[in-house]
Amino acid sequence: MASIIKANQLQDFGGNSIIGSDGAGNLTTQKTNYPAFSAKLSANQTLSNDTWTKGNFDTEIFDSNGKFDSTTNYRFNPGVAGYYRVSAHGYLQCTDTNFGNVAIYKNGSSYAFTANGYPFSNYQTQQIEVVMYLDADDYVEAFFKQSAGSSKVLLGENGTESNFAAERIGS
Protein backbone atom coordinates (compact mmCIF):
# COMPACT_ATOMS: atom_id res chain seq x y z
CA MET A 1 0.00 0.00 0.00
CA ALA A 2 1.37 3.45 -0.96
CA SER A 3 1.06 6.61 1.09
CA ILE A 4 0.52 10.12 -0.22
CA ILE A 5 1.57 13.21 1.67
CA LYS A 6 0.03 16.45 0.44
CA ALA A 7 1.50 19.83 1.31
CA ASN A 8 1.93 23.14 -0.44
CA GLN A 9 4.96 24.21 1.60
CA LEU A 10 7.91 22.65 3.43
CA GLN A 11 9.43 24.89 6.11
CA ASP A 12 12.51 24.73 8.31
CA PHE A 13 12.37 25.08 12.13
CA GLY A 14 12.53 28.87 11.79
CA GLY A 15 9.37 28.94 9.68
CA ASN A 16 11.31 29.76 6.49
CA SER A 17 9.97 28.23 3.29
CA ILE A 18 12.34 25.65 1.79
CA ILE A 19 10.07 24.30 -0.97
CA GLY A 20 6.64 25.50 -2.04
CA SER A 21 4.06 24.57 -4.64
CA ASP A 22 1.25 26.56 -6.22
CA GLY A 23 -0.99 23.48 -6.45
CA ALA A 24 -0.50 23.21 -10.21
CA GLY A 25 2.84 21.40 -10.04
CA ASN A 26 5.01 24.54 -10.17
CA LEU A 27 7.74 24.45 -7.55
CA THR A 28 9.67 27.25 -5.87
CA THR A 29 12.77 26.79 -3.71
CA GLN A 30 14.76 28.91 -1.28
CA LYS A 31 17.15 29.71 -4.14
CA THR A 32 14.85 32.46 -5.36
CA ASN A 33 17.15 35.08 -3.84
CA TYR A 34 20.30 34.31 -5.80
CA PRO A 35 21.21 37.61 -7.49
CA ALA A 36 22.90 37.32 -10.87
CA PHE A 37 23.59 39.61 -13.81
CA SER A 38 25.42 39.81 -17.11
CA ALA A 39 26.19 43.08 -18.90
CA LYS A 40 28.04 44.20 -22.03
CA LEU A 41 29.36 47.36 -23.66
CA SER A 42 27.14 48.95 -26.28
CA ALA A 43 30.10 50.71 -27.94
CA ASN A 44 33.89 50.84 -27.84
CA GLN A 45 35.39 52.46 -24.74
CA THR A 46 38.67 54.39 -24.82
CA LEU A 47 41.42 53.23 -22.46
CA SER A 48 44.21 55.69 -21.66
CA ASN A 49 47.74 54.36 -21.56
CA ASP A 50 48.82 52.58 -18.37
CA THR A 51 45.71 53.60 -16.39
CA TRP A 52 43.12 51.34 -14.76
CA THR A 53 39.77 52.31 -16.31
CA LYS A 54 36.37 51.10 -15.16
CA GLY A 55 34.41 49.26 -17.83
CA ASN A 56 31.20 51.17 -18.62
CA PHE A 57 28.98 48.12 -19.03
CA ASP A 58 25.81 49.93 -20.02
CA THR A 59 23.69 47.14 -21.52
CA GLU A 60 22.21 44.46 -19.30
CA ILE A 61 21.81 41.02 -20.83
CA PHE A 62 19.93 40.02 -17.67
CA ASP A 63 19.72 41.21 -14.07
CA SER A 64 17.72 38.80 -11.90
CA ASN A 65 17.26 41.09 -8.90
CA GLY A 66 17.89 44.55 -10.35
CA LYS A 67 21.23 44.83 -8.54
CA PHE A 68 23.48 45.92 -11.42
CA ASP A 69 23.75 49.64 -12.13
CA SER A 70 24.12 50.00 -15.91
CA THR A 71 23.48 53.75 -16.07
CA THR A 72 25.77 55.53 -13.58
CA ASN A 73 28.26 53.48 -11.55
CA TYR A 74 28.49 50.31 -13.69
CA ARG A 75 28.72 48.11 -10.63
CA PHE A 76 27.03 45.17 -8.98
CA ASN A 77 25.74 45.48 -5.41
CA PRO A 78 24.24 42.08 -4.51
CA GLY A 79 21.96 43.07 -1.63
CA VAL A 80 22.35 39.50 -0.33
CA ALA A 81 25.46 38.24 1.47
CA GLY A 82 27.11 35.11 0.13
CA TYR A 83 29.73 33.63 -2.14
CA TYR A 84 29.72 34.92 -5.71
CA ARG A 85 31.43 33.96 -8.93
CA VAL A 86 32.47 37.22 -10.59
CA SER A 87 33.93 37.41 -14.09
CA ALA A 88 35.08 40.05 -16.54
CA HIS A 89 36.18 39.63 -20.13
CA GLY A 90 37.71 42.33 -22.29
CA TYR A 91 38.75 42.44 -25.91
CA LEU A 92 41.51 45.06 -25.90
CA GLN A 93 43.15 46.83 -28.82
CA CYS A 94 46.93 46.45 -28.67
CA THR A 95 50.18 46.37 -30.64
CA ASP A 96 52.99 43.84 -31.04
CA THR A 97 54.66 45.04 -27.87
CA ASN A 98 51.96 46.19 -25.43
CA PHE A 99 49.96 44.29 -22.85
CA GLY A 100 46.45 44.34 -21.45
CA ASN A 101 45.06 43.55 -18.03
CA VAL A 102 41.67 43.09 -16.37
CA ALA A 103 40.81 43.40 -12.67
CA ILE A 104 37.89 42.90 -10.33
CA TYR A 105 37.54 45.68 -7.77
CA LYS A 106 35.67 45.21 -4.49
CA ASN A 107 34.43 48.36 -2.74
CA GLY A 108 36.72 50.56 -4.83
CA SER A 109 39.96 48.57 -4.35
CA SER A 110 41.65 45.99 -6.52
CA TYR A 111 40.66 42.47 -5.41
CA ALA A 112 42.17 40.34 -8.21
CA PHE A 113 43.81 41.07 -11.56
CA THR A 114 45.50 39.30 -14.44
CA ALA A 115 49.20 39.35 -15.17
CA ASN A 116 50.33 40.91 -18.43
CA GLY A 117 48.78 39.17 -21.40
CA TYR A 118 50.68 38.16 -24.50
CA PRO A 119 51.06 40.94 -27.07
CA PHE A 120 49.36 40.42 -30.40
CA SER A 121 49.33 42.50 -33.55
CA ASN A 122 45.77 43.81 -33.28
CA TYR A 123 43.58 42.72 -30.33
CA GLN A 124 43.94 40.49 -27.31
CA THR A 125 41.47 38.89 -24.95
CA GLN A 126 41.88 39.30 -21.21
CA GLN A 127 39.57 37.59 -18.75
CA ILE A 128 39.31 36.88 -15.05
CA GLU A 129 36.99 34.84 -12.89
CA VAL A 130 37.06 34.78 -9.09
CA VAL A 131 34.95 33.36 -6.30
CA MET A 132 34.60 35.87 -3.48
CA TYR A 133 32.48 36.54 -0.43
CA LEU A 134 30.33 39.67 -0.64
CA ASP A 135 28.33 41.25 2.15
CA ALA A 136 24.93 42.64 1.22
CA ASP A 137 26.30 46.20 0.91
CA ASP A 138 29.56 45.38 -0.94
CA TYR A 139 29.95 46.17 -4.63
CA VAL A 140 32.16 44.91 -7.44
CA GLU A 141 33.37 46.55 -10.66
CA ALA A 142 35.46 45.53 -13.68
CA PHE A 143 38.57 47.54 -14.61
CA PHE A 144 40.86 47.32 -17.64
CA LYS A 145 44.37 48.59 -18.47
CA GLN A 146 46.59 48.63 -21.56
CA SER A 147 50.18 49.78 -22.04
CA ALA A 148 50.50 50.79 -25.69
CA GLY A 149 51.90 54.29 -25.07
CA SER A 150 48.74 55.87 -26.48
CA SER A 151 45.01 55.47 -26.03
CA LYS A 152 43.45 52.23 -27.28
CA VAL A 153 39.95 50.76 -27.11
CA LEU A 154 38.08 48.15 -25.15
CA LEU A 155 36.00 46.64 -27.92
CA GLY A 156 32.25 46.78 -27.55
CA GLU A 157 31.04 47.81 -30.99
CA ASN A 158 29.16 44.58 -31.68
CA GLY A 159 27.96 44.32 -28.10
CA THR A 160 29.46 40.91 -27.37
CA GLU A 161 33.22 41.38 -27.23
CA SER A 162 33.53 42.59 -23.61
CA ASN A 163 31.34 41.60 -20.69
CA PHE A 164 30.99 41.58 -16.91
CA ALA A 165 28.93 39.11 -14.88
CA ALA A 166 28.32 37.73 -11.38
CA GLU A 167 26.14 35.11 -9.75
CA ARG A 168 25.54 34.04 -6.18
CA ILE A 169 26.68 30.44 -5.71
CA GLY A 170 26.11 29.91 -1.99
CA SER A 171 25.79 31.26 1.53
Number of domains in the chain: 1
CB 35 within 8 A of CB 168: yes
Whether 57 is in a domain gets the answer: yes
> From CA 60, how far away is CA 74, in angstroms rounded?
10
pLDDT at 31 over 60: no
CA angle 94, 97, 98 (to 5 degrees): 45
**What is the strand order of the sheet 27-29 is part of?**
9-11, 17-21, 27-29
| Residue pair 41/59 in contact by the 8 Å Cβ criterion | yes
pLDDT tens digit sequence for 58-91:
999 999 999 999 999 999 999 999 999 999 999 8
* Domain span including residue 103: 34-170
**Phi and psi angles of residue 118, each rounded to the nearest 5 degrees, phi first:** -80, 135
pLDDT tens figures, 122-150 = 777 889 999 999 999 999 999 999 888 88
On whether residue 81 sits in a domain, the answer given is yes
What are 88-124's pLDDT values in tens digits? Answer: 999 888 776 677 889 999 999 999 998 766 655 677 7
pTM of the model: 0.80
Residue 14 lies in a domain: no
